[in-house]
Amino acid sequence: MQPQRHRPGTGFTALHLVQPVDGGVATVVLDLVRAQVAAGTRVVVACPAGGPLAAEAARRGAEVREWRATRDPGPGLYEETRQVARLVEDVRPDLVHTHSAKAGLAGRLAVRGRVPTVFQPHAWSFEAVGGVTGHLARRWERWAARWTDRVVCVSEAERRTGERAGVRASWAVVHNGVDLDRFRPPREPDPASLRAALPLLAGLPATAPLVVCVGRLCRQKGQDILLRAWPLITRQVPGARLVLVGDGPESSALRDAAPPSVLFAGAVPDTTPWYRAADLVVLPSRWEGMAVAPLEAMACGRPVVLSDVDGARESLPPGREALCLAPPEDPPALAEAVSALLRDGPLREAVGGQGRRHVLSSYDVRQTARAIADVYRDVAAVPRPERREPIPQ
What is residue 5's predicted lDDT score, i.e. its pLDDT? 53
CA separation for the pair 275, 85 (Å, rounded): 41
Give the pLDDT band (50/70/90) at residue 8: low
Burial class (CB in 10 A: 0-12, 13-18, 19+), 304: buried
Q: In 3-state terms, what secondary structure has residue 310?
A: coil
Tens of pLDDT, residues 81-92: 999 999 999 999
Give the pLDDT band (50/70/90) at residue 7: low
Tens of pLDDT, residues 121-142: 999 999 988 888 889 999 999 9
pLDDT at 382 over 80: yes
Tens of pLDDT, residues 178-216: 999 999 999 877 877 888 889 999 888 888 999 999 999
CA separation for the pair 196, 263 (Å, rounded): 15
pLDDT at 1 over 50: no
CA separation for the pair 227, 209 (Å, rounded): 16
CA separation for the pair 185, 51 (Å, rounded): 28
Peptide bond connecting 249 to the previous residue in cis, omega within 30 degrees of 0: no
What is residue 187's predicted lDDT score, i.e. its pLDDT? 86
Across residues 97-120, what is the average pLDDT?
A: 97
Peptide bond connecting 20 to the previous residue in cis, omega within 30 degrees of 0: yes
What is residue 71's predicted lDDT score, i.e. its pLDDT? 86
pLDDT at 390 over 50: no
How does the average pLDDT of the chain come out, rounded?
93
pLDDT at 258 over 80: yes
pTM of the full structure: 0.92
